[in-house]
Amino acid sequence: MARARVHNFHVSLDGYGAGETITLEKPIGEAQGLFAPFDGRFIDGLGGVDAPITLDRALTTTWSQGIGAEIMGRGKFGPQTGAWTDDEWRGWWGDEPPFRTPVVVLTHHRRDPLHFDNGTSFHFLDATPVEALARAVELAGGRDVRIGGGPTTIRQFLAADLVDFLHLVTVPLTLGAGVSLWEGLAGVEDRFTVESVTSPSGLTHQFWNRVTSG
């Protein structure tokens, strides 16, 4: 059965996963420091990247394995709000979005799908987490679904108990403000087994696996 998986989700020590305001210049607001340790070159595997294979990088590579679709919040797709007035905007990633699968973008505002040559497509959907996941499972063709963030989206899926696996990366810095991953989720860990390991780099990696009944 297709699982819903979160990968490489970075949070600060005070629990923030993004800054408060997303702009074209600052895709994750004032939280850039969160991604300083992140080397996106590794999300599609170790091949072809001529750099040491550290623990952090090995773990980063699990991002795409067995994934057939992603779900993302609108803020991950772009800085706009309200109705889509700028159809020229095709995401932050240029002609080669790294996803290479269908992506469901959660938005209250209608827009036609976008298709890219590398297998990425964006499908704009006004839906609850349950509905969005059902659509993504269809699009994933039997593979797993990645819940891609941002923090508000992850939080909604955690609250709805729809996340099967969460790879959380705690970055040893404090932001003081931003979008909290944990707000309203007190006790959420009770539904998971949690492994923690701290990398020599100072990052703490956690592997949350949902406890399944039976």
- Binding residues (CB under 8 A) for a second copy: these are 1, 3, 5, 45-50, 52-55, 58-59, 61-62, 65-67, 143-144, 165, 167, 193, 195-200, 205, 207, 209
Q: How far is the CB of 197 from a second copy (least distance, A)?
A: 5
Q: How far is the CB of 87 from a second copy (least distance, A)?
A: 34
Q: What are phi and psi of 132, to 5 degrees?
A: -65, -40
Q: How far is the CB of 98 from a second copy (least distance, A)?
A: 16
Q: How far is the CB of 89 from a second copy (least distance, A)?
A: 32
∠ CA 193-194-199, rounded to 5°: 155
Minimum CB distance to a second copy smaller for 6 or for 71 = 6
Minimum CB distance to a second copy smaller for 80 or for 209 = 209
Residues contacting 166, CB < 8 A, separation 6+: 5, 6, 9, 154, 158, 192, 206, 207, 208
Selection from 25, 27, 31 nearest residue 181 by Cα: 31
User: Is the omega angle on the peptide bond into residue 150 within 30 degrees of 0, that is, cis?
Assistant: yes
